[in-house]
Chain A
């Protein structure tokens, strides 16, 4: 049993090394906008539909989800939370997935950041087989 544990550990290490170098199947993104889940099982990337995050306006963001082997994760339930830990408050709005697009892409509506600075976006991903969390650390500047 311990051996299995070691094997799994080695796999996880390998996976995270791989993720750290390059996200399989996804091009490198701006710092913070790509991350992987707590367990290392998932890789995610956020992209504002308009190309850049804008303060003070409602925006549509696209979340792309892949598993460790680079396969799109479809059919997941996503719960989005977040806030500005430095200021002790949450998101000013409650974003939601409005549509699942092809290729493990999810359309998120209702994002409206109202401050410049360091934001955290957390996405809890649930499928029939697992529950995991992605944390994006975003620096919103002028």
Chain B
């Protein structure tokens, strides 16, 4: 027997699809059933909020959004509305009962709350704005006092200016710290005493500002609306007469669940969960109230019952809303005399059924809002359905046992899951940046980029004629030994002047990654190891390098002189080319070639070598003049900072989303350490740092800056060279500095800090392209290699979560030029 049961348990799930296929031929919906389905279809327009004249004002929504996410109002500085209503959890906190209010209830979603008439599980408030004011000053929740909240609005310049733009002048009588820091009629004894010492006219002014804070929060919350689910699309297809396409939206089992859902005999779901939001907005007794501090009911399967507290539900909610000074009929309401129907026709009869009755929640997106019930007692939808199927026998309630089978309950769960839509479109939370953070953000934005500094070693650096020659040279593969490799082979304009390879390939494979040339004119040091100290001198190296372009100095200069178009461009920029009898010059002659090339070079008369050298140096200066014109463009991040600094919060909110802003906050926070090296508008300190990537002591060893500074010291075209235009005593102090200021022990395996703009176009990353993705780079920083092995300068490990890493990655992509 047991074996048979086991076999059945194994086989049944496998058979389910066959059974489902049979249900596809279920009877078509009747006209009445179609009317029922249509009555449940999503609606898009929440009813107006009569008591709040700014409920649909986008400026109020932007202000409310900032307040919603700002923990600065809380007593501890750590709790905001968003603590219990987290965007990533569909504006709930995923807890049975919210941690900040341990004696409280389950945090309901804010999404779709604009459709409701009553707020909190017992309906103790009759508007979203009045509701928002409760946790702000409730000691177990956000716990800012009424005067503290008002004070913050008045004293923070941004809050105050945004407030005044919407609600008019902030009351002068409340400014300049005249308010007791903690006072309010619902606070603790000291706060209440302080409140009633405030003269009534001033209390009224405080209440008015406080009400406006709630009204702004409501304006934000009204923007959080559920979107169409598969169920809605199913109904649309049915009503359009396309049952075949409807069948693509809901599976046969979901349809079976839907049939049960609307069946008033088999279930009673639609008694309370009716209308487009799947709620009647009413209060119903499910036998879940707790009146004696301890439920006598045995625990149901999947039930996570919290410590019991007395909870009479709606019976006390009615009393509370009638006493609320912020209700629809109160002095701070914007409602007219004929509004407030809910309050005017409120049933005040706190008869027995309302003791322990709670508000019917919407079922839209219900799978995202576990756990369930006013006290989060059920972890799963299946457990909730178990409650309805077999209601508790020992408490009064409105339910009757349903007698549904397990499979039917599962079908209902499946149907409920079809009610999920996309997350509400919402602007990003505009973080409240402190003054120092704002200053820091300002230092990172594009507008902070100074003019390109002149290169004293290159008089032609900003000469358009030189840049034209440089542009032609940059694209000319004939300069290379095999006629196939140009500068732009590795610096491709469409890839932000990189080549997309881990390590570039010229004539032969190279050992490092080609860096971007955008805004390269700002760099003090060129190459990953800084072996060149000017752009013009750097540009000369690949021309002759045997693994890059492999031309000889002689052949490169000859190509320019002999090619009419290049010769003309050269003449425009630098005047006549040196007069050389090329027939007497071996084409391969050059100081950096093989032994034969060097011998041929040495054999040339000094005046010829000097002429070729001068012309060669000019080609570098022309290439540099071109490269100095290669600029990135402002990014989304820059537009965001511009908006933040200009106080255009709503613009800022449109520019970066919540995750990107979180990544930015992390980027500038001490715990990520990013800013240590990546600062300034180009996000680089231009210095050399040891990340432990030099593979020291291995066959892949790259000494990085330790070798680079020796190379630049010996470089024939460095700042002190006679071919540059610098005045060495004035312009070349950096060459001495490399010995004085760079710390020897860290330079072995240190590489230049790259900028962080346009990272999307410049993968792979690091000096040797070892990381294909930004996430890998960030993961490397999170868990750097063993310090004992590589002697790097990174912190041991960063305290960053996976989500933090993802946020940082998202933020970095906002630095791409738009």
Which A residues touch B344, using CB under 8 A?
Answer: 110
Minimum C-beta distance from B45 to chain A (A): 14
Query: Does B272 lie at the interface of the complex (its beta carbon under 8 Å from any beta carbon of A)?
Result: yes
Q: Are B398's CB and A88's CB within 8 A?
A: yes
With A89-B285, A114-B282 given, is the CB distance from A94 to B353 under 8 Å?
Answer: no
Q: Are A90's CB and B274's CB within 8 A?
A: no
Q: Which of B31-39, B689-697, B704-712 contacts A (4 or more CB under 8 A)?
A: B31-39
Q: Are A58's CB and B341's CB within 8 A?
A: yes
Query: Does A44 lie at the interface of the complex (its beta carbon under 8 Å from any beta carbon of B)?
Result: no
Query: Does A41 lie at the interface of the complex (its beta carbon under 8 Å from any beta carbon of B)?
Result: no
CA distance A93 to B342 in the complex (A): 7
Look across to chain A and name the residue whose beta carbon is closest to the beta carbon of B31: A142
CA distance A119 to B351 in the complex (A): 18
Which B residues touch A114, using CB under 8 A?
Answer: 272, 274, 280-282
Which B residues touch A96, using CB under 8 A?
Answer: 345
Query: Does B349 lie at the interface of the complex (its beta carbon under 8 Å from any beta carbon of A)?
Result: yes
Within 8 A of B (CB), among A111-142: 112, 114-117, 141-142
Within 8 A of A (CB), among B344-374: 344-349, 351, 353
With A56-B280, A110-B344, A110-B345 given, is the CB distance from A90 to B275 under 8 Å?
Answer: no
Query: Does A15 lie at the interface of the complex (its beta carbon under 8 Å from any beta carbon of B)?
Result: no
Which B residues touch A141, using CB under 8 A?
Answer: 32
Residue interface bits A73-93, CB-to-B below 8 A is 1, else 0? 000000000000001111111
> When the two chains form the complex, which single residue of A91, A93, A112, A116 contacts B274, counting CB atoms closer than 8 Å?
A116
Which A residues touch B284, using CB under 8 A?
Answer: 89
Within 8 A of B (CB), among A46-79: 55-56, 58
With A56-B275, A115-B272, A116-B274 given, is the CB distance from A93 to B280 under 8 Å?
Answer: no
Look across to chain A and name the residue whose beta carbon is closest to the beta carbon of B399: A87
Minimum C-beta distance from A53 to chain B (A): 14
Minimum C-beta distance from B289 to chain A (A): 14
Which B residues touch A94, using CB under 8 A?
Answer: 345-349
CA distance A142 to B29 in the complex (A): 14
Which A residues touch B281, using CB under 8 A?
Answer: 56, 114
CA distance A115 to B360 in the complex (A): 12
Minimum C-beta distance from A47 to chain B (A): 19
Q: Are B282's CB and A58's CB within 8 A?
A: no
CA distance A109 to B340 in the complex (A): 12
With A89-B284, A114-B280 given, is the CB distance from A55 to B345 under 8 Å?
Answer: no
Query: Does B271 lie at the interface of the complex (its beta carbon under 8 Å from any beta carbon of A)?
Result: yes
Which B residues touch A115, using CB under 8 A?
Answer: 271-272, 274, 280, 282
Which B residues touch A87, using CB under 8 A?
Answer: 271, 398
Query: Does B264 lie at the interface of the complex (its beta carbon under 8 Å from any beta carbon of A)?
Result: yes
Which A residues touch B342, using CB under 8 A?
Answer: 93
Minimum C-beta distance from A7 to chain B (A): 42
CA distance A114 to B281 in the complex (A): 7
Within 8 A of B (CB), among A1-49: none
Which B residues touch A116, using CB under 8 A?
Answer: 264, 270-271, 274
Minimum C-beta distance from A115 to chain B (A): 5
Q: Are B341's CB and A110's CB within 8 A?
A: yes
> When the two chains form the complex, which single residue of B36, B275, B345 contacts A93, counting CB atoms closer than 8 Å?
B345
Minimum C-beta distance from B385 to chain A (A): 19
CA distance A112 to B341 in the complex (A): 10
Which B residues touch A92, using CB under 8 A?
Answer: 280, 282-283, 347
CA distance A117 to B344 in the complex (A): 25
Q: Are B272's CB and A58's CB within 8 A?
A: no
Look across to chain A and name the residue whose beta carbon is closest to the beta carbon of B35: A142
Minimum C-beta distance from A93 to chain B (A): 4
Q: Are B398's CB and A142's CB within 8 A?
A: no
Q: Are B36's CB and A142's CB within 8 A?
A: yes
Look across to chain B and name the residue whose beta carbon is closest to the beta carbon of A96: B345
Look across to chain B and name the residue whose beta carbon is closest to the beta carbon of A89: B353
Look across to chain A and name the residue whose beta carbon is closest to the beta carbon of B397: A88
Minimum C-beta distance from B126 to chain A (A): 13
Q: Are A142's CB and B282's CB within 8 A?
A: no
Minimum C-beta distance from A114 to chain B (A): 4
Which A residues touch B345, using CB under 8 A?
Answer: 58, 93-96, 109-110, 112
Minimum C-beta distance from B315 to chain A (A): 13
Residue interface bits A101-113, CB-to-B below 8 A is 1, else 0? 0000000011010
Which A residues touch B274, using CB under 8 A?
Answer: 55-56, 114-116
Q: Which of B270, B282, B349, B351 is packed against the most chain A CB atoms within 10 Å?
A: B282
Residues of A bordering B, CB below 8 Å:
55-56, 58, 87-96, 109-110, 112, 114-117, 141-142
Known: A112-B345, A116-B264. 10 other contacts (CB 8 A): A58-B345, A89-B284, A89-B353, A89-B398, A90-B347, A90-B349, A90-B353, A96-B345, A142-B32, A142-B39
Residues of B bordering A, CB below 8 Å:
32, 35-36, 39, 264, 270-272, 274-275, 280-285, 341-342, 344-349, 351, 353, 398
Lowest 8 CB-CB distances: which A-B pairs, in order? A110-B345, A114-B280, A93-B345, A114-B282, A94-B347, A142-B35, A89-B353, A87-B398
7 contacts between A and B (CB under 8 A): A55-B275, A88-B353, A89-B285, A92-B347, A94-B345, A94-B347, A117-B271
